[in-house]
């Protein structure tokens, strides 16, 4: 009898779990970030809204396309049904067992907002055409080129227990952090960095930007179409940090940041150029097999070393020339979450 009783309890538990897993579950999104550390790009605190799509292949009733916003307590809620314009729609998983695909995007871009407002989920099913700005002169320009994206198929009972749905955004594009480091000689002729105008026309080249032929991004499949674009356009940069010489650090340095679409870069195409006073200097990456990937930062350090020509008998001219300046470049790759 005891054996029969134990079997009966086990069956009751199994039936109880089945009933729970078959019931619809209210969804409460929880927004997280798995991203590269960034001085001027998008962070969680910048999110005031985003677009969420939930695809249940077995039920259109439990499939959604909504705009998410924060309430006064900082909790996320669906403010607008993008399919029909209804306010404050309620979101449910059909049950705990049915797999669903979760897609979310935030891009600080009015054009994207207009694109998402298309009927019948046009913002997800039609590739979005865009180009990257070739003038990154402020932190706002960086944020507007730094979309956050999430796309994952889940099973609610294991991946969203109790309906709490973690949406872990990543930076869809790559971030480039360019640092110019000047040696004693260069720093001295720049008056220890007090003369910021000594460095000008800082540009980065060799990337696909969509300025010759628009790029296309399919939010549904997360695929990127480069659409025949070329690498002819350069990106003009303004420093995010300018470090002057001090008693402890004698050398001047300047730092720049911008976003780039993921891409494979042909050998010899990646370059950076800048002026020291009226003289232009250029560095070209000569390494092999460089790929810019999503949610990854590429720290490019250029060491600019000069030599006073009067001390070496090279020339009586104390001005900088290409003959007495050497630029050495290094690239370090950091995946999302790495420091």
CA–CA separation, 7 and 1 (whole Å):
10
Give residue 152's Cα distance to chain centre: 18
pTM equals 0.86
Q: What is the pLDDT of residue 310?
A: 56
Q: What is the pLDDT of residue 152?
A: 97
Report which DSSP code applies to 138.
S
Which residues have C-beta within 8 Å of that of residue 57, sequence separation ≥ 6? 99, 100, 101
Q: Which residue has the tokens 């002026």?
A: 275
Q: What is the pLDDT of residue 185?
A: 84
Q: What is the pLDDT of residue 187?
A: 87
Nearest to 124 by CA among 53, 51, 219: 219
Low-confidence stretches of the chain (pLDDT < 50) are 1-16, 19, 39, 313-316, 339
Neighbours of 228 (CB within 10 A): 9
Q: What is the pLDDT of residue 7?
A: 46
CA–CA separation, 70 and 73 (whole Å):
8
CB neighbour burial string for 76-112, b if at least 16 within 10 angstroms, e if fewer:
bebebbbeeeeeebebbbbbbebebebbbbbbbbeeb
CATH of 174-335, one of 1.10.10.10, 1.10.3720.10, 2.60.40.2630, 2.40.160.150: 2.60.40.2630
């Amino acid at each position: 009898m005891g054996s029969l009783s134990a079997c009966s309890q086990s069956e009751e538990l199994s039936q109880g779990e089945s009933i729970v897993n078959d019931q619809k579950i209210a969804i409460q999104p929880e927004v997280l970030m798995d991203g590269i550390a960034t001085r001027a790009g998008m962070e969680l605190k910048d999110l005031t809204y985003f677009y969420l799509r939930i695809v249940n292949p077995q039920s259109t009733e439990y499939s959604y396309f909504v705009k998410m916003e924060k309430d006064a307590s900082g909790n996320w809620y669906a403010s607008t049904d993008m399919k029909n314009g209804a306010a404050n729609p309620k979101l449910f998983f059909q049950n705990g067992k049915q797999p669903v695909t979760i897609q979310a995007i935030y891009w600080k871009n009015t054009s994207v907002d207009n694109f998402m407002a298309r009927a019948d989920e046009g913002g997800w099913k039609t590739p979005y055409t865009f180009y990257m700005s070739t003038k990154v002169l402020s932190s706002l320009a960086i944020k507007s080129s730094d979309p956050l994206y999430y796309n994952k198929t889940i099973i609610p009972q294991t991946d969203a227990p109790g309906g709490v749905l973690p949406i872990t955004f990543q930076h869809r594009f790559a971030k480039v952090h360019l640092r110019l480091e000047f040696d004693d000689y260069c720093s001295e002729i720049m008056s220890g960095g007090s003369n910021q105008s000594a460095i000008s026309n800082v540009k980065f080249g060799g990337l696909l930007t969509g300025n010759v032929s628009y790029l296309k991004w399919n939010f549904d499949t997360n695929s990127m179409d480069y659409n025949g674009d070329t690498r002819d356009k350069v990106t003009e940069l303004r420093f995010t940090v300018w470090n002057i010489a001090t008693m402890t650090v004698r050398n001047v340095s300047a730092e720049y940041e911008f976003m780039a679409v993921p891409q494979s870069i042909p050998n010899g195409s990646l370059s950076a150029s800048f002026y020291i006073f009226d003289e232009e200097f250029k560095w070209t990456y000569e390494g092999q097999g460089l790929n810019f990937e999503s949610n990854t930062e590429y720290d490019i350090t250029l060491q600019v070393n000069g030599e006073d020509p009067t001390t070496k008998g090279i020339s009586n001219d104390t001005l900088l020339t290409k003959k007495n300046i050497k630029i050495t470049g290094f690239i370090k790759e950091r995946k999302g979450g790495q420091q």
